[in-house]
């Protein structure tokens, strides 16, 4: 069963774990090495069991824990060549780098991964499709504009993890952000709004395969889980689509685990509701 856990999602740091019974892939390491170890331990995963670390792009909120985290680990880091070059001076502890290309599928254990380009103000950012036994997880971190390539890549996923950074009205009315920053956030190389995500989800859910949307990277000041979820649910209902679960990943806590295909609604609710801060659920002994 292909599953994933968000270890933290927001401007303060992003990381997730995509896994099966045999394979564990860390996606980004934007929280401190200490917190990465703590949160992995909380879900019962030994960092030494990781089969790879996959990097979406080089920004600090996705990589700041990478250097220290890798000092005691013999684990390959997967990213494209330009991202590797941008990280080379800051991540000297990594022993193994694996260069990947958009559109060239590769395997880590029993998970097949395929990258696709996205638009963001990084050197060469990527989104990813994770697949096992025909079930697909779409993973999209920071991105400012939905392209046809991105839409095509995500058209057949069963679950999507995607940023819904801001509500357009809240961003426009925010008094703490200068106009230049607001322009950067809302630009084609910035971040996705709730409205943009809703339009994307509405377009890909029509095929009937999409079961779950996990919204990520919500702005603390210019968004809320209630507003973001309502926007997506409205877009789906306007298209007559029901049965798609919509969840918001927590900013500084573990969220999940989420199975790419749940056997029934009860299972989905159980997996969403785990309180890892109290050690309630342990995945692996």
**13-42 pLDDT, tens digit each:** 999 999 999 999 999 999 999 999 999 999
Q: Tell me what pLDDT residue 89 has.
A: 84
- The domains of the chain, with CATH numbers, are 3-278 (3.60.15.10)
Round to whole Å and give the CA distance between 135 and 233.
Answer: 23
Q: Tell me what pLDDT residue 283 has.
A: 52
Residue 184 region by backbone torsions, left for phi larger than 0, else alpha for psi between -120 and 50, else beta:
alpha
Residue 243 region by backbone torsions, left for phi larger than 0, else alpha for psi between -120 and 50, else beta:
left
pLDDT of 280 over the 70 cut: no
Q: Tell me what pLDDT residue 88 has.
A: 87
Instruction: Return the higher-pLDDT residue of 91 and 230.
Output: 230
Name the pTM for this structure: 0.90
**49-89 pLDDT, tens digit each:** 999 999 999 999 999 999 999 998 989 999 999 999 999 88
Q: Tell me what pLDDT residue 275 has.
A: 45
Q: Tell me what pLDDT residue 24 has.
A: 98
Q: Tell me what pLDDT residue 206 has.
A: 84
The DSSP secondary structure of 53-93, one letter per residue, reads EE-S---HHHHTTHHHHHTT----EEE-HHHHHHHTTT--S
**Mean pLDDT across the stretch 195-215?**
94
Average of per-residue pLDDT values in the chain:
90
């Amino acid at each position: 069963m292909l599953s994933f856990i968000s270890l933290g999602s927001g401007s303060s740091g992003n990381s997730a774990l995509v896994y099966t019974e045999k394979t564990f892939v860390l996606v980004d390491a934007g929280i401190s090495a200490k917190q990465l170890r703590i949160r992995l331990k909380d879900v019962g995963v030994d960092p030494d069991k990781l089969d790879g670390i996959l990097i979406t792009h080089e920004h600090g909120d996705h990589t700041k824990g990478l250097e220290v985290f890798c000092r005691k680990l013999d684990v390959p880091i997967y990213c494209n060549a330009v991202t590797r070059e941008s990280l080379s001076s800051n991540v000297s502890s990594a022993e193994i780098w694996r260069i990947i290309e958009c559109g060239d599928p590769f395997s880590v254990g029993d998970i097949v991964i395929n990258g696709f380009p996205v638009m963001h103000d990084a050197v060469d950012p990527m989104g990813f499709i994770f697949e096992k036994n025909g079930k697909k997880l779409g993973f999209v971190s920071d991105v400012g504009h939905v392209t046809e390539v991105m839409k095509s890549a995500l058209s057949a996923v069963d679950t999507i993890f995607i940023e819904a950074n801001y509500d357009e009205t809240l961003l426009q009315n925010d008094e703490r952000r200068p106009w230049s920053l607001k322009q950067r956030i809302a630009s084609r190389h910035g971040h996705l709004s709730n409205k943009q995500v809703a339009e994307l989800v509405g377009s890909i859910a029509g095929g009937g395969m999409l079961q779950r949307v996990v919204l990520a990277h919500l702005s603390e000041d210019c968004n809320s889980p209630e507003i973001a979820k309502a926007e997506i649910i409205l877009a789906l209902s306007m298209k007559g689509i029901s049965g798609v679960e919509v969840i918001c990943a927590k900013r500084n806590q573990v969220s999940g685990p989420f199975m790419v295909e749940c056997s029934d609604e009860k299972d989905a609710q159980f997996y969403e509701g785990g309180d890892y801060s109290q050690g309630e659920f342990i995945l692996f002994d």
